[in-house]
Amino acid sequence: MEGTIDGFRYGAVTPVASYVMACLGGALGLRCIVRSLINADSWKPGWLALGATSIGCGIWTMHFIAMIGFQVEETRIRYDAVLTVLSLVVAILVVGIGVFLVGYRGAGAGSLPLAGAVTGLGVAAMHYLGMAAMRLNADVGYDGFTVTLSLLIAIAAATAALWAAVSVRGFTTSLGASLVMGVAVSGMHYTAMAAVDVHLHDSAAGPWSGDSPTSLLLPMLLGPVVFLLLAGVVVMSDPLLVLGNGEWNRPAGQTAKEPASPDRGSNSGARKARY
């Protein structure tokens, strides 16, 4: 017997909230990666790690906020805590691989496609691992074509995000890029969810274990959300990231302490006059 799937149990609340979290994680991640690139004196591994964790938490939070709105009308849904936590670890690690690749090797023809493919497939793995954490009195199946489409969207979204991370420097353009990232990640999620079909078991009350969505997901979401808020405080307290000092607009080889050439010439003339 086919189960009746409703992916929007709470209407537009969960899709909008999940999109906002994906955008927040993307925006913070992009700004942290930019911070590692515009200042050679910054602690690059730390900023890249913070950026990767922000993006990974944003993607994972987006997924499970959206899953709060997912239900099968004929059966309850529970979640395995270990697999749910593992999906968060996978999200952060695979995003980290991509971020460190482009952070140190740039968005060249060799590194960007590799980083995008690894990160995209990792994000998809996070999604399907999170789906595997579901416990319900039914078997969950997937349409092969739609799954393949979701993988392609994930790879394209990851590649575009990593390219933006090393190519987009301005504050406003980073925000715009994060909005596009949110659309791409949400599009991948709901495309993957369109592949789902549920075959109910014959018995009405099969023995399955796990935690309910509200008892597991809501408390578990608190950690990544708090992390994103703290990362936001770090980013917003850094004037180089928020206000900017034109660092990424300066010609190569000119440092922040070098004054503009006309002033340098007038100051030099003044010194010669005095001496």
The tens digit of pLDDT for each residue in 213-223 reads 666 677 777 88
Residue 87 lies inside a defined structural domain of this protein: yes
Full residue range of the structural domain in which residue 219 is found: 5-250
Residue type, 254: Q
CA atoms within 13 A on the CB side of 71: 14
DSSP state of 248: G
Q: Judge contact between 51 and 104, C-beta under 8 A.
A: no
Residue 256 belongs to some domain of the structure: no
- Ranges assigned E (strand) in 28-185: 71-72, 77-79, 134-136, 138-142
Residue 203 pLDDT: 62
183 in a structural domain? yes
Cα 19 to Cα 24: distance, rounded to the nearest angstrom: 9
pLDDT beneath 70, residues of the chain: 39-41, 169, 203-216, 239-275
Q: State phi, psi for 103 to the nearest 5 degrees.
A: -65, -35
- pTM, rounded to two decimals: 0.78
Tell me the two tokens of residue 131.
């789906």
Helix and strand totals (H; E) in the chain: 9, 6
Angle between helices 13-38 and 171-194 (to 10 degrees): 140
Q: Quick check: 192 and 146 in contact, CB under 8 A?
A: yes
Whole-number pLDDT of residue 15: 92
Number of domains in the chain: 1
Task: Specify the pLDDT at position 260.
Answer: 43
- Domain membership flag for residue 112: yes
pLDDT of residue 39: 67
The answer as to whether 219 is a domain residue is yes
Give me the amino acid identity at 43: W
* Structural domain includes residue 155: yes
* Alpha carbons 176 and 229: distance in angstroms, whole number: 19
Could you count the other beta carbons within 10 Å of the beta carbon of residue 148?
11
The answer to whether residue 271 sits within a structural domain is no
Distance separating alpha carbons of residues 127 and 194, to the nearest angstrom: 13
Burial of 262 per CB tally in 10 Å (0-12, 13-18, 19+): exposed
Any domain includes 117 = yes
